[in-house]
Amino acid sequence: MPAYFNDSQRQATKAAGKIAGLEVKRIINEPTAAALAFGLDKLKKDGVIAVYDLGGGTFDISIIEMTNVDGEYQFEVISTSGDTHLGGEDFDLILINHFL
């Protein structure tokens, strides 16, 4: 889920999952999904992590706290934000303008 989605967009995404026949238990933001995919849940260490997602047209960040709860490490997203007007394409344009 893009970090910049508002509540109605999040609810529409959940509804689309249900229409598709999926049992939607939880929706997570892209930076959180990236942290899980990278295996940060396997670190077995309490702490606070900043996860950045620099996409082609957006930039998102999540601040995630990892804690040991009954022997199992869990993520809690403390904060998330994004900028829909900043992304890899913007950096590409700056480099193109600089070198051309």
Asked whether residue 2 is domain-assigned, the answer is no
Say whether pLDDT at 42 is over 90. no
Instruction: Provide the domain count of the chain.
Output: 1
Using pLDDT thresholds of 50, 70 and 90, give the confidence band for residue 87.
confident
Rounded percentage of the chain residues whose pLDDT exceeds 70: 100
Asked whether residue 40 is domain-assigned, the answer is yes
Say whether pLDDT at 3 is over 80. no
Asked whether residue 71 is domain-assigned, the answer is yes
Asked whether residue 15 is domain-assigned, the answer is yes
Say whether pLDDT at 11 is over 80. yes
Asked whether residue 1 is domain-assigned, the answer is no
Asked whether residue 24 is domain-assigned, the answer is yes
Cα–Cα nearest to 32, from 89, 96, 79, 100 = 79
CB 3 within 8 A of CB 31: yes
DSSP letter at 46? -
Interatomic CA distance for residues 34 and 66, integer angstroms: 15
pLDDT of residue 69: 87
Mean pLDDT of the chain: 87
pLDDT of residue 13: 94
Average pLDDT over residues 38-48: 83
Residue with tokens 């996860």: 51
Residue 76's domain comprises 7-99
